[in-house]
Each structure stands twice: as C-alpha cells, then as structure tokens.
A and B are shown apart, each in its own frame.
Chain A
Amino acid sequence: AATEWNASVWGKRRAFTEHVEKLAELVSEKTDGEFTINVSYGGLSKPKENLDGIEIGAFEMAQFCAGYHRDKNRAITVLELPFLGVNNLDEEVAVSHAVYDHPAVKDEMAQWNARIIMTSPMPQYNIVGTGEPRDQLADFDGMRVRATGGLGQAFEAVGGVPTSVPATEAYNAMESGVVDTVAFAQHAHLSFGTINDADWWTANLNPGTVNCPVVVNIDAYEALPAEHREVLNSSIDEAIDHYLANYGGLLEQWDSVLDEKGVQKVMIDDAVIEEFRTTAADPIREQWIADMSAQGLPGQDLYDLVQTTLKQQRGGN
C-alpha cells in the first residue's frame, strides 16, 4: 500500500534541510513512489513544537534543535556544550550518532514517541555584527547575542546577554536592534539574511555548535511495511553524504560570499580565544554534568562518550 509521510521543518529549503529533501527523494525513487515524504516548511508546526507534533502523531518526521527546549531533550544537550573540541562535519556526525545511540537518549526521546534517525551536522557557530568588530572579551560585556543552548551560556559567562528570537526573525532582530550580534553556522547566516546586515564575521571564534536531529514518530516507523522501513534505513547514510557534500561546497564559497557582501573577516587572537575557553568551557561543562546527574541522567557518561568517539574518529583516519 502507498505510504505518505509528512515532515515538519522550518524556514526555507537550505543546506540545513538538504538531507531531509534527499531522503524524501531517495525513498520515493527506491519504492517507485509507493513511499513519499512531503517536506513542509513551517506549515505544520512551529519549530519549538515539532517534538510535540511528533508525540501527538500529527506528522511522522521532524527536525528540531536541542537548544530550543533543553528540558524536552536534556541528554542530547551534551552536544551543545561550548568548546567541545569537534573540528569538522565528519566528526560532528560521528559524535552525534554515537550519542543518539546511548540508551539514556533513546529513553528520553521515546517519551516523545520519537526515534532519532540522523543529525543535521553543522560547523562551528560564529557571530556577525555591525559597527566595530568585537574581538576582545571585554566587547562581549552587555552584548545581546542570539545564541541558544550551551553557546548562549558561553557568551553569558563573559558578560553577554543571550536574546534568542526564532531563527526566522534573527535578521529583523538584528536590524531593529533587539540583538547586537547573531551566532549561526554559515548556511544560516546566508539563509536568514543576517550576513546581509553584517559588517563583520568572526572567522575563528569557534565556540561550539548547535545540535539538530531529525526524528520519526515511533508508531509510524514501526507501522511501515518491512520493505519501506528497509528503504528508509538504508537511505540515511546516502542522505547524510549528500548533505556533507553540499555543505562542503557552501564552505568553499564562503570567502567569496564575504567579499561580495563586503563583510570583514575578523581573526581573533589565540590568547583571547584561550581566555574565552577557560572562562566558559570547564565551568559550564562541570555544571552541566552536575545538573544532569542530579536529575538521574548519566551526564559524565555522555560527555565521555563524546570524547572517546572523537578519539576513535581521529585514530581511524
């Protein structure tokens, strides 16, 4: 029988949604149109309620970011800790998928009737702003920055004030002065237009990134005919590969984008970054582990898993 799924994402089609689009394309192709996935950009839910929609069963697939609602997905927020040490998208995929396989993560997601099928790997976030570049820690004092999750906490540790409007409103927020700076990955600076309003972009601040998994509704997943489930499972790696190739192309063109928009590439002193790291990374991580443990979650375990996976990934290459 024909299977029709709805996938709820937001914004418009961009590098960040390419794996979902590719997955939809692959399953339809491999099943001769018997299994289709309609990707809806904001028509079915607000981004912050995508997990709710999955729990309700309103749609079968959705994308969300851990930092939008840390209480809904405490376990995976480990991946948003600042200065985690992830260097590239391949490593990001490896650590994310290792964490997603952890029983504590699976349990927490099962409360939402959700099963994570893949991540949406993103490079390190960097900030854009207007006026004079903020390249000293003192410049972050009183800075209103759109930065969610652990990133927001990192800026808070050095006096910043996280002010997180939805991504779709980030451009307006920056232009109207709700925020002074916006932290995004490159694709989002492009897609949400913040780069158009910016005078400068920090090339090497690299404080961390945001983790945005793609989930499916467990009931819908289990109700799939065996061959459709097989097609879905077997297409995930291909979808991720397509995503990585596409994102790689975007990163290659990034410098020319900056030139074209007249955005200054700001290199921050190693000493400044080191100071930022010591102020933000350790205390926030220790606090996180303590909080998680107090709530009965294996915080230390999850953090160690990230580090061992990183080592393995580097050893294997």
Chain B
Amino acid sequence: MAGQATVLEDGSRLSQLDQRLLGVERFLALISGLAVFGLMVLAVVSVGGRNAFNAPLPGYVDWIEQAMPLIAFLGISYVQRDGGHIRMDIVISRLQGRALWLFELISVILILVLMMALVWGSWSHFDRSFDLGAPLWSRDSSIDIGVPLWPGKLLVPIAFSVLCLRLSLQVWGYGRAFVLGLETPVSVPMNQDAAAQAAAEAEQFEGQD
C-alpha cells in the first residue's frame, strides 16, 4: 500500500478525523473502481448481444456517459489524501521545515478556494438539469433513451465537497506544522523526493508476481 507510508498517523483529534475521512474516501474510490469494471461488463454484453443475437444494447452510449462521472470524480479526494495528484516538485523538494509548510499551506488554501468555487459552479450545472415539477425531476436527459442527467451532474459537487473536507484537514495539518515548526506532521502527505516516491510506487508490485 503506497498510500499508508506517506501519511503519518497518531491519536490526535486531527489524525482521527483524517482516518475517518479516509474510510469515506476509500469507499468512494472502490465504487469508482467497480464502475470501471461495470463498464467492461457493459461492453462485453453489448458486443455479445449485437453479434450473437442481433440485439444491440439500447442506450449503450447513454449509459457509458452516465457511468463516466462515477469513474472520474469519486476517487479525487482519495488521491489528494496521499498527495497523488501530479505536480512538479523541482522547487518544493529543495525546501525544508517552515518554508516548506508555508508553500504547501498556500498551495492547499488556493486549491480549497478553487474547489469551493467549483462546488458552486458544478452545483449550478446540476441545478439547471433538475426540476422537482418535471417527470423524473428531469430538465435535461440523454439523447437516445432519455435517462435524466441530474444524478451524474450531482456527483460532481458531492465529490468536490468531499475533496473540500480533505483540503480543510490539510490546511489544518500544514498550518499546525508551520506554526509549531514540526518536522513530521500527521495527516498530511509527506514531501518525499522523487526517488523515494518511485520506490513507494514500485512497492505495490512487490511479491505479487
């Protein structure tokens, strides 16, 4: 498990919250993975139905488009927890101590502001497709079989809100590290150099072949 090694834990309030949120994040990520698997099954059924029974799956394209938000967004906070979103660390890997925590703090605050704005924006995108007075509450539906689009659109602000919680914890974690001048703060991804990170990545493959 590459993730576990990079975020330290202890019995503090912050770390407890971190682990509780991690449980939610892992659950959402698992749903996302299962949705990928579902996509695969859907394609097998579609190809099979078409070729074996001349019975193509109605709304195949519509269903895939419905599944994509599940796949693309639900894991976003899980990745942020371990510091897995790609970045260039050529500058930041040279920093240490308070200077490093300050950089990280500013970075996560900016991301938090961005994501709060996007929760608003993606909620309004959902809201435009949702109408309590309409059949299936739908004011926007897919082309072929008319599946309501609002559930997929609603997933975006939900996933982004979970990410906002995660970012708030990281603001707390980095802020605490900066104020107290900590060396090994809990509940934030530790800044590893690229080689150590690669080692962690390769760890996944150990003993599995």
Indicate if A touches B (C-beta under 8 A).
yes
Residues of A within 8 A of B (CB): 52, 55-56, 67-72, 141-142, 144, 148, 152, 161-165, 178, 294-295
Q: Judging by beta carbons under 8 Å apart, are B141 and A71 in contact?
A: yes
CA distance A52 to B61 in the complex (A): 22
Q: Judging by beta carbons under 8 Å apart, are A141 and B56 in contact?
A: no
CB neighbours of A141 from chain B (8 A): 54
Closest chain B residue to A163 by CB distance?
Answer: B61
Q: Judging by beta carbons under 8 Å apart, are A164 and B144 in contact?
A: yes
CB neighbours of B144 from chain A (8 A): 148, 152, 162-164
Q: Is B176 an interface residue (CB 8 A)?
A: no
Most chain A beta-carbon contacts within 10 A, residue among B57, B125, B139, B148: B139
In angstroms, how far is the closest chain B Cβ from the Cβ of A175?
16
Closest chain A residue to B60 by CB distance?
Answer: A163
- Say whether, besides A163-B61, A164-B61, A165-B61, A69 and B141 are in contact (CB < 8 Å): yes
Q: Judging by beta carbons under 8 Å apart, are B61 and A71 in contact?
A: no
Q: Is B86 an interface residue (CB 8 A)?
A: no
Between A and B, 7 residue pairs with Cβ closer than 8 Å are A69-B143, A71-B138, A71-B140, A71-B146, A144-B50, A178-B61, A295-B135
In angstroms, how far is the closest chain B Cβ from the Cβ of A146?
9
Count how many pairs of residues, one from A and one from B, have CB atoms less than 8 Å apart in the complex: 50
CA distance A120 to B144 in the complex (A): 22
CA distance A294 to B135 in the complex (A): 10
Q: Is the interface of B mostly helix, strand, loop or mixed?
A: loop
Q: Is B45 an interface residue (CB 8 A)?
A: no
Q: Judging by beta carbons under 8 Å apart, are A70 and B141 in contact?
A: yes
CB neighbours of B145 from chain A (8 A): 162
Known: A67-B143, A69-B141. 15 other contacts (CB 8 A): A52-B125, A55-B128, A68-B143, A71-B139, A71-B140, A148-B143, A152-B143, A152-B144, A161-B56, A161-B57, A162-B58, A163-B144, A164-B61, A164-B144, A295-B135
Closest chain A residue to B121 by CB distance?
Answer: A56
In angstroms, how far is the closest chain A Cβ from the Cβ of B131?
8
CA distance A70 to B141 in the complex (A): 7
In angstroms, how far is the closest chain B Cβ from the Cβ of A41?
21
